[in-house]
Amino acid sequence: MKSVKMAGKGVVKIVEAPEPVPGPGEVVIETAMSGICGSEMHTYREEGMPGGNGGHEAVGTVVKLGECVPNLKVGQRVGASAIAGCGACPACAKGQYTWCPNNRFYGNMHAERFLAAANACHILRDDVPWDAGVLLTGDGLGVPYHTSRKIASREIKTIAIFGVGPIGLGNVLLQAHLGRRVIAVDISPTHLEHARNCGAAETVNPKDGDPVAAVKSLTGGKGADVCMECAGRQETAMACFAAVRTGGTVVFNGEQGPLPLSPSSHFIRRDITAVGSWFYHFSEFGSMLELYRNGLDVTKLISHRFPFKKAAAAYKQFASGESAKVVLVYG
């Protein structure tokens, strides 16, 4: 079969790869669509991935079953969570695979067929097209939804989102759908345009001036109730602490290294809460699906669709910063 290989330094190739063989509790899925994630950009731009690719958002049809797979059948349409739980611990019993101490990551999903854990597959009914499914079962809506559960207070009215690439944009779409006033902050005019289309009430470009001052001006001088860091950059993280109101919350979605934070000035003396949010709980899929069926148009997050054979062009488009979610379409 054919698969994407990330050769590094911005080079992506389509290569022949061995057919996946399902072990106990695993299935092979014929890929219909896969999504490119911002977390893949480091390996894309830098050292590459000799073992294949970091694809971890995909949907398709089950074509092979391993042993001990009672919940799936060949021919079913599914979306695969990249994080699979052990199935035997208290976290797994609640569908909280990311909290399972023995969870496993399944990647290499940018391929004609890929391997997935059977207990991490969501069955997709016919009313869920592939493009919606890849967002509902992957990072696209998964991260924003899991994040939304941590900031559910009705007292939260205004949210400033720093960095509106695909994950930030998903937060814009969901928070606007939930009735919050969203301020989108990004240096890309294209990203800001996508944010407006997804419901952002106001947009701020740091190239035009101090983004912290702009957020405070838009909130009557007090700051936003919640500031989300979705860019994975130190300067945006620190800006979130400066732009959030006293007693507010800072949310981290963007992966990054250490920050120069002071317990006293950044947390204690302003009563600031900071929370992290990674991927989503397998058990949250039903609630996301209900939101979609009740009108949340997740497909608005997709700006570009490329045939699988043009994966190199898809990665180049995503890396340009001039897109929202980019997906690969198969066969």
How many angstroms separate the CA atoms of 281 and 79, rounded?
A: 14
Rounded to a whole number, what is the distance in angstroms from the first to the last CA of the chain?
A: 12
Residue 11 parent element (H or E) = strand 11-16
Q: Quick one: 201 exposed, middle or buried, by C-beta within 10 A (0-12, 13-18, 19+)?
A: middle
214 touches 207 (CB < 8 A): no
The total number of residues written for the chain in this structure? 331
Record the tokens describing residue 238, joined without a space: 């620190």
Residue pLDDT tens, the chain, 331 long:
999 999 999 999 999 999 999 999 999 999 999 999 999 998 999 999 988 999 999 999 999 999 999 999 999 999 999 999 999 999 999 999 999 999 999 999 999 999 999 999 999 999 999 999 999 999 999 999 999 999 999 999 999 999 999 999 999 999 999 999 999 999 999 999 999 999 999 999 999 999 999 999 999 999 999 999 999 999 999 999 999 999 999 999 999 999 999 999 999 999 999 999 999 999 999 999 999 999 999 999 999 999 999 999 999 999 999 999 999 999 8
Give the per-residue pLDDT at 331: 86
- pTM for the full model? 0.96
Q: Quick one: 2 exposed, middle or buried, by C-beta within 10 A (0-12, 13-18, 19+)?
A: middle
Q: Which of 235, 241, 247 lies closest to 266 in space, CA to CA? A: 241
Residue 226 parent element (H or E) = strand 224-229
What structural domains does the chain harbor?
2-141+280-329 (3.90.180.10), 151-276 (3.40.50.720)
Record the tokens describing residue 266, joined without a space: 């950044």
Which residues lie across from 122 on neighbouring strands? 79
Concatenated DSSP letters for 156-179? Answer: --EEEEE--SHHHHHHHHHHHHTT
Which residues lie across from 36 on neighbouring strands? 326
Q: Count how many Cα atoms sit within 13 Å of the Cα of residue 59 in the half-sphere of its side chain.
A: 26
Q: Count how many Cα atoms sit within 13 Å of the Cα of residue 54 in the half-sphere of its side chain.
A: 17
**Alpha-carbon dihedral angle through residues 93, 99, 101, 102, given to the nearest 10 degrees:** 70
Looking at residue 320, what DSSP letter applies? T
